[in-house]
């Protein structure tokens, strides 16, 4: 598993254009928000800030994680089929995608804070929610990428399958963000944080159990 994780990191470092492209996507998206709202001196309400932030992170995560299996060459997949356990494949990809999602989330938050102000009062709780949401995106979208890779029109299948799971994760993230913006105590977000943690554990366990069957199909 560690070897596979190292392989993912090595390939990503070699393909610097991928990371640069994601960073440019984030920067250009937030800059468009700034041109539309900031330069026109419009007041950006905290709720709109939250909606724009999570929508941007969602599409960034989908663009980032969709390539987990969809973008792999068929020959490489067959090679791994014979020498690697499927459980090791899915776990290594989920860990790698989690690291990448957290990185993109941090970059996105910094850009939003610099260009569109930062309405967050409880930064600690928000950071925990950000990490758990990134983990939710990573676990669910990685598994769905593996499922979609087996179908025709894989990108469309990926978008359709991811919608129900991602919506539940987003709802929890938005509630946590609202509590952090309103300056409520951390205890007000405990239920949402626990739900996010439960979703991550459930999807992670399902991925571990179901992916071997997907891998062999």
Tell me: the pLDDT tens digits for 158-214? 667 777 888 889 999 999 999 999 888 888 899 999 999 999 999 999 888 888 887
> Is residue 88 very low, low, confident or very high in pLDDT (cuts 50, 70, 90)?
confident
Which tokens belong to 104? 């993109």
Could you give the CA distance from residue 77 to residue 4 in angstroms, rounded to a whole number? Answer: 13
Residues of the domain holding 81: 2-216
Could you give the CA distance from residue 188 to residue 177 in angstroms, rounded to a whole number? Answer: 11
Among 89, 54, 40, smallest CA distance to 68 is for 89
Which tokens belong to 97? 């995608």
DSSP at 151: S
* Contact between 110 and 127 (Cβ < 8 Å): no
Among 186, 175, 190, smallest CA distance to 47 is for 175
Number of structural domains in the chain: 1
Residue showing tokens 């254009």: 17
* Contact between 166 and 137 (Cβ < 8 Å): yes
Helices 46-65 and 16-33 pack at an angle, to 10 degrees, of 160
H-helix or E-strand spanning residue 165: helix 154-182
Residue 41 clears pLDDT 60, i.e. is over it: no
Lowest mean pLDDT among 56-60, 69-73, 114-118, 173-177: 69-73
* Contact between 142 and 90 (Cβ < 8 Å): yes
Lowest mean pLDDT among 1-15, 126-140, 148-162, 190-204: 1-15
DSSP at 108: H
Q: Give residue 139's Cα distance to chain centre.
A: 8
Residues contacting 144, CB < 8 A, separation 6+: 158, 161, 162, 165
Over the stretch 103-133, which tens digit does the pLDDT of each residue have? 999 999 999 999 888 889 999 999 999 999 9
């Amino acid at each position: 598993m560690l070897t596979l994780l190292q392989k993912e990191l090595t390939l990503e470092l070699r393909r610097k254009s991928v990371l640069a492209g994601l960073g440019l996507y984030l920067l250009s998206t937030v800059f468009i928000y700034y041109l539309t709202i900031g330069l026109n001196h419009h007041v950006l309400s905290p709720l709109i800030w939250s909606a724009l932030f999570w929508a941007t992170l969602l599409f960034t995560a989908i663009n980032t994680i969709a390539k987990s299996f969809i973008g792999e060459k068929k020959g490489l997949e067959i090679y791994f089929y014979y020498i690697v356990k499927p459980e090791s494949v899915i776990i290594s990809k989920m860990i790698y995608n989690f690291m990448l999602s957290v990185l993109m989330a941090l970059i996105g938050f910094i850009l939003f804070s610099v260009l569109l102000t930062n309405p967050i009062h409880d930064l600690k709780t928000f950071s925990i929610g950000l990490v758990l949401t990134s983990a939710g995106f990573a676990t669910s979208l990685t598994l769905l990428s593996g499922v979609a890779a087996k179908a025709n029109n894989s990108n469309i299948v990926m978008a359709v399958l991811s919608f129900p799971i991602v919506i539940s994760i987003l709802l929890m993230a938005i509630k946590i963000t609202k509590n952090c913006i309103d300056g409520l105590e951390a205890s007000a977000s405990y239920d949402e944080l626990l739900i996010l943690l439960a979703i991550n554990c459930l999807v992670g366990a399902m991925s571990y159990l179901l992916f071997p069957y997907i891998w062999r199909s």
